[in-house]
Amino acid sequence: MKKKIVTVALGVAVALAASGAYADNAGPNDIRLGMYFVHYEATASDITGPYTPPGLNVHVQNVETLYVGYVRTLSSHFAAELAFGYPPLTKTEGRGPATLGSVPYNGRVISTARWVAPSLLLEYLFGDPSSRLRPFVGVGVNYTKFVARQSTAAGNAASGGPTSISLPVSVGPAATAGLAYELTDRWHAYASYSVAQVNTKLTADTAGIIRTSEIHFWPNTLVISVGYSF
């Protein structure tokens, strides 16, 4: 089902791109490079499962990573953006009691995962195409796949042994708002703030003991980038 949603979204974007009118002489394509500053407004349900005391939760550490975007101008006011980040190593800390028995928990990095999290956004640009400064807003879809999922040594100690972590793919809505500033005919600077709904169910398996937590990551992302149009 999720695959279908992504396929449809990509198809819509491509169709829009193919039919688009060019905004200026620089061409309809824009490649952007910059930085993602990701601040997670994560909420998670307490971890449940056998041998699990109440009140165990998690906190997700903020990350920065490289931003790469491809934007296709569709018309004088519409553009489609495919945004990638270099998959950041996202660290999850334990939240709850200071120790589980005598094993430190609160504040310890218990797991890490890299996010492969492209977003596809349809954006509306305000103002005249000839304006140097153009605000824009966009909505779209975020696809997040969690790879290289690792329970750390501290996580294994808290969990009770080597632990495998399952975090299913998340597909959810994304929204953005930002500013585009024309530096030259072909170069622009961008600043945007995006929010995506990234929900997944963490399942940890420690020697057959299964524990789960529903996590809503709510990544809030500031992107600062420059783009080259052609």
- CB-nearer residue toward other proteins: 101 or 173: 101
Chain residues binding other proteins by CB under 8 A are: 14, 17-18, 29, 31, 51, 53, 68, 70, 72, 82, 84, 86-87, 99-103, 114, 116, 118, 147-151, 157, 160-166, 205-209
CB of 206 to other proteins, least distance (A): 6
d(CA 209, CA 121) in angstroms, rounded, equals: 40
Of 68 and 177, which CB lies nearer to other proteins in the complex structure? 68
> Given the complex with other proteins, which of 11 and 41 has the nearer CB atom?
11
Q: Taking the complex as a whole, how short is the minimal distance between the CB of residue 151 and other proteins, in angstroms?
A: 5
Measured distance between the N- and C-terminal CA atoms of the chain, rounded to whole angstroms: 36
Which residues, in sequence order, are CB contacts of 208 under 8 Å at separation 6+? none
Q: Looking at this protein, which amino acid is placed at residue 18?
A: A
Q: Which residues of 60-86 are buried (b: 16+ CB within 10 A; e: fewer)?
A: beebebebbbebbbbbbbbbbbbbbbe
Provide, rounded to whole angstroms, the least separation between the CB of residue 161 and other proteins: 5
25 vs 102, beta carbon nearer other proteins: 102
Distance separating alpha carbons of residues 94 and 65, to the nearest angstrom: 23
